[in-house]
A and B are shown apart, each in its own frame.
Chain A
Amino acid sequence: MWIRQTVICASIIVLAVMLQLTLLSRLGLPGATPDLVVVCVVALALAYGPVTGAVVGFAAGLVLGFSPPAGGIIGIQALIFLVIGFLTGAVIDPRDRTVPVLMGMVGLSTGAAALAYALLLAAFGGNQVLWDSVPALVLTSSLYGLILAPAVVPGVAWLVQKVTPEIAV
């Protein structure tokens, strides 16, 4: 059970990171890049609960930080995704999860991730943050999260139910 859970989480995260860096960021969409990794972290947190969500978020942030072409500071994304994974796993009772609520939660998470990255980067001394473009990045990131959510969250939930039926929330 532990092994299957780890394998499914790792596969989803690595796939999401690869798709995000090789496909989504190259589509040239206006504003931010669709944050598939955050959407997957939220989906796994919803499926496995807050603690696994936090661990998965932490790991996903590290993978994203180490993946080429990333040149940013390692650890910032791990910290952000850790908090997102924990909060989204803990904040909503599993019985209250309707599609609009899930979409809203994913949209908030992706927007918050973009904002938190800009804030933390600046807090750690990065002077490359373009503040006038931050609102547009946060808004578009939320929007892309909203769009991705109905496809990704049920898909991940179904996969989790199939692979580890005994521990899915």
Chain B
Amino acid sequence: MLNQRTRIILAALAIIALTFTILDLRGGKGPFSSVRSVVSSALGGVQVATSVIISPITGVGSWWGTWGDQRARIAELESQNATLQDTVIRSAEDRARADALDQLLRVAGVGRYRIVPAEVIAVEPAQNFAWTVTIDAGRDDGLLADMTVINGQGLIGRILSTTKTTATVVLIVDASSAVGARVAGTEEIGILSGTGRQDSLEFQTLDPLAELKSGQALVTFGSRSGRPYAPGIPIGEVVDVSGTAGQLTRIATIRPFADVSALTIVGVVIRPPREDPRDSVLPTPPATISGSLALESPSPSGVNDGASPAPTASTKPQKEKAATPVPSPTPSAGVATNSGSN
């Protein structure tokens, strides 16, 4: 069945495939980075064109789930008068897109992020265990690698690579993703890792004594100069906490605000805000009461019961009082430094 020529061809191809695999495994700037960027540019252009052609099909994200409803709706509309035709033209798709843009603009406006809006045009197949998408904005629109990508619900991911007209985004749920995050209303920070599942992330606080409750929201902690992650972007909320306070590894399960499996319009943060917006971008910013509760909570065992009623609020002034008497032997100098530090 196998003649000489067939065997040589098969062996050669298999060896090339394996060689590519092994070369690419080394990671970093492998021999394929330039090939990948050239091919990505070419195929990215084709993807933009294909996406335009098929946009009437993909535009309605939940088409498969609701086609029964839509048929009923079409039947209903057909029975209506022609004067209602502009209702048909303003279809659900347009409104959904407008809503998505509105929400994106709200997030960008409140947090003072300067964004470039873009549309998702291609998605990695589910069986490849990688959460990456292509968007239709690229270097020509001012996009660079490691910029933050958001939508109207919150953080989506970061830009992995760009071509002239497209960019590849690695989503926060990808197993390779790690985001510095802060629990809203508190100063607890930690690392949020993707698990590869679309509805759960793992959050590990840096402080093993940190108290986490389900329902608490997480925002991005922010990176230096806003790349890869701009500060203050809502990420998700705690749904489950495993382990108890004090254990070395306490992992909270986070459900992201954004539905990464049905992305349409996203925004790329091309300039982070001058000041960290803290928790203001969250749809419902945590009340100050929940913040103080979280601050009190690290003493659940009852050991510091005497000191617990106002732990941080009382210790700070005491420290300042203790610090001020030290320079008192030289009164003028002490006053000067004191006012300077204030």
Contact = CB atoms under 8 A, between A and B. Distances in A.
A66 B40 contact: yes
A6 B54 CA distance: 26
Contacts of A70: 124, 128, 130, 132
Contacts of A129: 129
A10 to B, nearest CB: 12
A136 to B, nearest CB: 10
B39 interface: yes
Given A66-B39, A127-B175, A137 B21 contact: no
A24 B125 CA distance: 8
A163 interface: no
Contacts of B17: 58, 61, 75-76, 78-79, 82
A113 B122 CA distance: 21
Interface string A14-27: 10011111111111
A86 interface: yes
Contacts of A18: 43, 46-47, 50
Interface string B108-140: 000000000000111111111110111000000
A19 B43 CA distance: 12
B68 to A, nearest CB: 16
Given A68-B122, A75-B20, 7 more contacts: A20-B125, A21-B122, A66-B36, A69-B134, A71-B170, A74-B21, A113-B127
Contact of B122 (A25, A55, A128): A25
B258 to A, nearest CB: 15
Interface stretch (B70-78, B88-96, B160-168, B327-335): B160-168
Interface residues of B, number: 64
Interface in A113-168: 113-114, 117-118, 121, 124-130, 137, 141
30 contacts: A14-B46, A19-B54, A21-B47, A23-B54, A29-B64, A33-B127, A51-B10, A54-B10, A55-B13, A67-B47, A68-B43, A68-B44, A68-B122, A68-B168, A69-B122, A71-B124, A72-B124, A74-B21, A75-B21, A75-B22, A79-B18, A82-B10, A86-B10, A117-B127, A125-B25, A127-B175, A128-B130, A128-B176, A130-B129, A141-B127
Contacts of B18: 75, 79
B79 interface: no
A90 to B, nearest CB: 7
B132 A71 contact: yes
Query: Nearest 3 A-B pairs (CB), nearest first?
Result: A75-B21, A75-B20, A128-B175
A74 B20 contact: yes
Interface string B38-52: 011001101100110
A66 B43 contact: yes
A121 B36 contact: no
Interface size class, chain A: 35 or more
B336 interface: no
A146 to B, nearest CB: 16
B291 interface: no
Contacts of A130: 129, 195-197
Interface string B267-309: 0000000000000000000000000000000000000000000
A50 B6 CA distance: 9
Contact of A126 (B1, B10, B22, B129): B129
B62 interface: yes
Point out which of A33, A51, A61, A67 has the most chain B C-beta atoms below 10 A from its C-beta: A67
A125 B22 CA distance: 11
A54 B9 contact: yes
A21 B161 CA distance: 17
Contacts of A128: 129-130, 174-176, 196
A21 B262 CA distance: 14
Nearest to A141: B127
Nearest to A74: B24
A32 B10 contact: no
A22 B39 CA distance: 16
A73 B122 contact: no
A128 B175 CA distance: 6
Contact of A35 (B64, B127, B166): B127
Contacts of B169: 69
